[in-house]
Copies of this chain bind each other. A is one copy, B any other.
Amino acid sequence: MGSEEVKLLGAWASPFVHRVEWALKLKGIVYEDVEENLFNKSPLLLKYNPIHTKVPVLLHAGKSISESLVIIEYIDETWKQNPILPEDPFERANARFWAKFVDEEFMEAIRQALISEGEQQEKEVKQAIEALEIIEGELKSKQKFFGGEKIGFVDIVLGWVTAWLEVVEEVAGIKVFDSQKFPSFNNWMENFVETPIIKDKLPSRDKLVLYFHKIREFSLASPTIK
């Protein structure tokens, strides 16, 4: 690898990968996109993320970084233009708190709802709705974005909902979002998808539906994968 070359090991259907792509676009970083097949992982992925063998992996200056939140912080610390995290320590802590909340309380419940059924799935849907109520409460006091007038850390972390949530609802036969019940969240989604760097980097809905049907069927058939 050239000393400053940037490569991203990704997968088109992964919301975690899209976070990193959005962060790179926001910074105006040119990178090479290396598409992984998650059903048949490449030697490159096994080499650069041997512990989790998951995408995304960022390769930069001969080094590799894994875990989407960790990668976004790396990008923000390496390229200073268009800051993703705020400058003030308390605001930074707040952004990290909400990013963690989104991942652990909301996204994980949606992921589990996708690959479960019956009582287990109902429990996950309930958890997701409760998390969304808390996010709605937080968004009420915000301007356009969590990051204020511009997209920031929490916006990037939560951004998957704009393309993936409806797809998971359809594939898993569940209902989590309701624009009447979550008006601030609805506004936030509209603002998010209207942002040029985002609009250009959202996957096709139809392709996602097919792909997530496959994930759901595969997971229900082999429950130990969860």
Cβ of A77 and Cβ of B65 under 8 Å apart? no
Cβ of A100 and Cβ of B51 under 8 Å apart? no
Q: Which residues from B are CB-within-8-Å of A101? A: 51
A77 CA to B96 CA in the complex, in Å?
A: 13
Does A166 belong to the interface (CB within 8 Å)? Answer: no
Q: Closest CB-CB distance, A129 to chain B, in whole Å?
A: 15
Cβ of A90 and Cβ of B65 under 8 Å apart? yes
Evaluate whether A67 and B96 lie within 8 angstroms (CB atoms) in the complex, with A77-B89, A78-B89, A89-B74 already known.
yes
A53 CA to B140 CA in the complex, in Å?
A: 21
Size of chain A's interface in residues, with CB distance under 8 A? 23
Q: Which residues from B are CB-within-8-Å of A100? A: 67, 69-70
Does A134 belong to the interface (CB within 8 Å)? Answer: yes
Cβ of A73 and Cβ of B51 under 8 Å apart? no
Does A63 belong to the interface (CB within 8 Å)? Answer: yes
Number of copies: 2
A93 CA to B72 CA in the complex, in Å?
A: 9
Interface of A is mostly: helix
A78 CA to B88 CA in the complex, in Å?
A: 9
Q: Closest CB-CB distance, A55 to chain B, in whole Å?
A: 15
Choose from B70, B89, B97 the contact partner of A97 (Cβ within 8 Å): B70
Does A175 belong to the interface (CB within 8 Å)? Answer: no
Q: Closest CB-CB distance, A122 to chain B, in whole Å?
A: 14
Q: Which residues from B are CB-within-8-Å of A114? A: none
Near B by CB (< 8 A), chain A positions 54-107 give: 61, 63, 65-67, 69-71, 73-74, 77-78, 89-90, 92-94, 96-97, 100-101
A67 CA to B96 CA in the complex, in Å?
A: 9
Question: Which residues does A use to contact B, with CB under 8 Å?
Answer: 51, 61, 63, 65-67, 69-71, 73-74, 77-78, 89-90, 92-94, 96-97, 100-101, 134
Q: What are 5 A-B residue pairs whose CB atoms fall within 8 Å in the complex?
A: A61-B90, A66-B97, A67-B97, A71-B93, A77-B92
